[in-house]
Structure 1
Amino acid sequence: MVKALNNATMKKIICLSLFLLFANIMFAQNEQALYESILSKITPPSIPEKTVNITRYGAKGDGVKDCKPAFDKAMKAALKSKGGFHIVVPAGVYFIKGPIHFVSNVCLDLAEGAELKFSDNPADYLPVVSTSWEGTFVSNYSPFIYGYEVENVSIIGKGKIDGNAQNTFGTWRSNQEKDVERTRYVNHNNVPFAERSFGEGHYLRPQLIQFYKSKNILLEGVFITNSPFWCIHLLKSENITCRKLKYDAKLVNNDGIDPEYSKNILIEDIDFNNGDDNVAIKAGRDNEGRATATPSENIIIRNCRFKGLHGVVLGSEMSSGIQNVFVRDCSFAGYCKRGIYFKTNPDRGGFIRHIYINNVEFDNVEDLFFITSAYARTETNQFNVTDICDVYVNGLKCKKASNAGLVIQGYPKNIVHDIHFKNVEVQEAKIGVSFTNAERIEMSNVTIGGIVGAPSTVSDKDKIFEKK
């Protein structure tokens, strides 16, 4: 009887092992299939055949002459030209007294040694344009490079884009509180867009580069510095490739790349060095985000070097939801406060799901992996708790976490669930694991604070039984 029971038990163990093996194989195949499906939807635009030099329209790279009229003329000419323009900017410093507004079918090519240096006078970025500010649609100062409802556009080359915002826009954060409160009010009270005008007399900083309701976009190679606010804001746009960019953007809130309500995005081979989040995936804020119901989705971040405040962030403006995000084969260029950071609160709602973190390494951090449902809550007396689930981590490392290795802070009304950690290594950490309001958390091959070797044998030094 004992032998029969043992055989039955063995059969169950073998069946369970085979099932788990099969399930793991199927999951890996499904994950890879989703990854490849997303990649197949992302195709950079082709470069227009007709090439023109910006100097043809009166630009001069002496750092003094206002070259905005030249860029405006080139864009107007491209609009009339069949197939658009490949606009080449040769070496030199081109002072631009106001924004560059893109049209469709344009490639702006900054040659090595070329620099676009924007005016630091806020009045030059008026009249206001339709945009978004921290998840709320408003009219505001124009982003310095702005494309609205355009397609097949590129910014490429080895040149530099200098927002030159350090002495004006870069100092505005201390003055923005009243305007920020107003954006929250119009969001929560469904105020008509016509009554959401900011601009002159207000202190909402514009983005450096923004493409809004646009598609088929390539940003490649250029160096970005001194942004007035977020560096690259991809708003309600799709089919976007960001590749080989370089940053030294350390002003306040100089996020590197912020996709919002956007999809089918490839972010690869980028050297970040930002005064805020390297990549922050967003999807609208609170009431307005939930009503818009356009998730940010199908986003691949791979082969990047992180440096700045946080590596990859999901939120906090994400009320339309975030899904199908891959972070693969990334490393560090320097310190990050947090490596992977999910941040939301009970005002946001929406969801974060189907997130895949594979083979990502950091140096020293405060926290390696952090999920919180209680980030910077604004009391609206509403409870729209975000559903956070189906997160798969396989290969995540750091040398030291001065605060914590793995943190999950769910919310009692909507517990964070189905989070999977595999092959995680934190060499040193003050706190290894802190999970609250979390369930169905799976950990496999996780080491925090070092790896324990073989147990020691009993010796005379072990005074377990002392003689009395």
Structure 2
Amino acid sequence: MRTKILSIVASFLFLCGCQHQIESDPSPTKKSTADIIQGIGHIRIAETARKLTDFGGSGDSATDNKPAFDKVMQYCLENGGGRIIVPPGVYLVNGPIHLVDNSCLDLQKGAKICFGTDADDYLPVVATSWEGTLLYNYSPLIYAYQAKNVAITGEGTIDGNGRNGFSGWYDRQKPAQERSRQMNRKDVPMEQRIFGNGHFLRPQLIQFYGCKNILVEGVTIENSPFWCVHFLQSENIIARKVKFHAYNKNNDGFDAEYSKNILIEDIDFDNADDNVAIKAGRDHEGRKLGITSENIVIRNCRFKGLHGIVIGSEMSAGVEHVYVENCEASSYCKRGIYLKSNPDRGGFIRNIYVDNVRFQQVEDALFITSFYHGEGEGHATDIRDIFVRNFYCKSASNAGLVIQGFPSKKVTNVQFSDIKIDSCKAALSFSHTANIVFNDVTIGEQIAVPSAVR
């Protein structure tokens, strides 16, 4: 025991000796969040407004509004776009809504879109992604493909009706899930990756695929069949003042995959899974495409659900320049900040900045691992340049700070500054790491001046 204590003390002395050098050059590649946000620019919203009811829509909760949405989208195609106003009422939609260029879905206060539960209504299959693998599957319930200047706004609600529909497929998805992963690893051509009917892969509630200039603002999103909002190979994105009430399995709030230039702010999360998950493809396909997810700012948000901020585990093309600022948990999160990969993934996670973030009760406050699910080989991930400052957690039932590197690829250059964790079962658990720096870190009770000899 004496040897272990001396070893720990020596390690901290070494870290303190390195401190001044690290502080003088904390990250030569750090970007300004203001520059990232300015780079997103102004997202132009169509000014021409038409009511859904002008195209046969009815908010009586019984009429199928799929034909009305198809008509208004055709109108937008033929007239250079439009702002589609959905007045108060409950609008049943038996099938997907496909957004087009310069279209804005504007849900007024008191308006609710509720999707039908017949899976056949979401065929034919469309190009999409499922857990990091590109394939053809059921259409997401709201879907935009290679569109520009698209928006979902207003004070209304989007109800995926997942509890009564697709969510029941969770226990039946395993064969298709494994098939998709094998197709990824074997580089099967996209045109052969046909799922849909009989394969039980749940569609996302909202997906933007290959889109540019996206705004999601003000709406409430609930009862999703799978991921709630999925940004896939998209850029220039603002998500603001959205509220989530999504308690089904895999109900992530925002998933950004192969995407860049994103601002997520002033969000009220309440999700049964990750609040924000940043991804960049799975395994062979991700490494082959090499489309990095980058330039992502998450600020002024309220976390609630499984995990607050997650990077991975599907991140094989790499994730960098992520900024989490001025956020707090409004309730329990299993893990606060969670960076996860394994030796199937490869790629990198780097230049991650967490500043002024507060959690209450968690299982683990901050967890970085190269061994997610304890599986994989041959493609260790490069995890480095992680900067966490002004971080508070009231209590962690398991661990305060955890870093698990890979023997051949250590997690390196992680700096903790002004960290306060009031109580936890295990304070630190670090393995296969290098250049871990502590500045003003307190885990447990703050120790006062030493007592005098009596």
CA positional deviation for 1:454: 1.2
1:285-296 equivalences under 5 Å are 285-296=282-293
1:392 and 2:354 matched: no
Give CA-to-partner distance per residue, 1:170-209, whole Å, 9 cap, x none: 1111111111110111001011111110001111110000
Counterparts of 2:153 and 2:107 in 1: how far apart (Å)? 6
Residue equivalent to 1:12:
none
Question: Secondary structure of the equivalent of 2:162?
Answer: coil
Aligned residues: 438
Question: Secondary structure of the equivalent of 2:57?
Answer: coil
Question: Secondary structure of the equivalent of 2:153?
Answer: strand
Kept after mapping to 2: 8 A contact 1:347/1:377: no
Provide the aligned C-alpha RMSD in A. Answer: 1.6
Residue equivalent to 1:41:
39
CA positional deviation for 1:378: 4.5
Kept after mapping to 2: 8 A contact 1:110/1:158: yes
Work out which of the two has the higher radius of gyration on C-alpha atoms and give 1 or 2: 1
Counterparts of 1:256 and 1:48 in 2: how far apart (Å)? 26
1:146-157 equivalences under 5 Å are 146-157=143-154
Equivalent residue for 2:214, pick from 212, 217, 229: 217
Equivalent residue for 1:60, pick from 42, 46, 58: 58
Residue equivalent to 2:74:
76
**Aligned-partner residue type, residue 125 of structure 1:** Y
Counterparts of 1:284 and 1:78 in 2: how far apart (Å)? 32
Residue equivalent to 2:13:
none
Kept after mapping to 2: 8 A contact 1:44/1:217: no
CA positional deviation for 1:297: 0.2
Residue segments in structure 2 that go unaligned for 5+ positions in a row: 1-16
Equivalent residue for 2:170, pick from 173, 194, 209: 173
Residue equivalent to 1:365:
362
Give identity over the alignment, percent. 53
1:167-246 equivalences under 5 Å are 167-246=164-243
Question: Secondary structure of the equivalent of 2:40?
Answer: coil
1:313 and 2:321 matched: no
**Aligned-partner residue type, residue 142 of structure 2:** I
Residue equivalent to 1:414:
409
Residue equivalent to 1:403:
398
CA positional deviation for 1:42: 1.2
Equivalent residue for 2:419, pick from 406, 416, 424: 424
CA positional deviation for 1:167: 2.2
Question: Secondary structure of the equivalent of 1:276?
Answer: strand
Counterparts of 1:101 and 1:206 in 2: how far apart (Å)? 14
Give CA-to-partner distance per residue, 1:293-343, whole Å, 9 cap, x none: 001000000000000000000000000000000000001111000000001
1:273 and 2:275 matched: no
Residue equivalent to 1:450:
445
Residue equivalent to 2:337:
340
CA positional deviation for 1:384: 0.4
Kept after mapping to 1: 8 A contact 2:29/2:351: no
Kept after mapping to 2: 8 A contact 1:44/1:239: no
Counterparts of 1:44 and 1:271 in 2: how far apart (Å)? 23
CA positional deviation for 1:47: 2.1
Give CA-to-partner distance per residue, 1:43-89, whole Å, 9 cap, x none: 2422212110110000000000000110110001001103x101100
Residue equivalent to 1:10:
none
Counterparts of 1:402 and 1:197 in 2: how far apart (Å)? 43
**Aligned-partner residue type, residue 213 of structure 1:** G
**Aligned-partner residue type, residue 345 of structure 1:** N
**Aligned-partner residue type, residue 43 of structure 1:** G
1:434 and 2:432 matched: no
1:440 to 1:20, Cα distance in 2 relative to 1, 3 A = closer
Question: Secondary structure of the equivalent of 2:35?
Answer: helix
Counterparts of 1:378 and 1:437 in 2: how far apart (Å)? 17
CA positional deviation for 1:425: 0.4
Kept after mapping to 1: 8 A contact 2:112/2:157: yes
Kept after mapping to 1: 8 A contact 2:131/2:282: yes
CA positional deviation for 1:36: 2.2
TM-score (norm 2): 0.94
CA positional deviation for 1:35: 2.0
TM-score (norm 1): 0.91
Residue segments in structure 1 that go unaligned for 5+ positions in a row: 1-16, 460-468
Kept after mapping to 2: 8 A contact 1:351/1:386: yes
**Aligned-partner residue type, residue 278 of structure 1:** N
Give CA-to-partner distance per residue, 1:13-52, whole Å, 9 cap, x none: xxxx9x949x747658974x53222111112422212110
CA positional deviation for 1:168: 2.5
Residue equivalent to 2:132:
135
Counterparts of 2:29 and 2:318 in 1: how far apart (Å)? 21
Counterparts of 1:323 and 1:30 in 2: how far apart (Å)? 10
Kept after mapping to 1: 8 A contact 2:183/2:193: yes
Question: Secondary structure of the equivalent of 1:275?
Answer: strand
Question: Secondary structure of the equivalent of 2:434?
Answer: strand
Question: Secondary structure of the equivalent of 2:67?
Answer: helix
Residue equivalent to 1:4:
none
Kept after mapping to 1: 8 A contact 2:27/2:385: no
**Aligned-partner residue type, residue 393 of structure 1:** V
1:85 and 2:98 matched: no
Question: Secondary structure of the equivalent of 2:249?
Answer: coil
Kept after mapping to 2: 8 A contact 1:230/1:256: yes
Counterparts of 2:47 and 2:338 in 1: how far apart (Å)? 42
Question: Secondary structure of the equivalent of 2:371?
Answer: coil
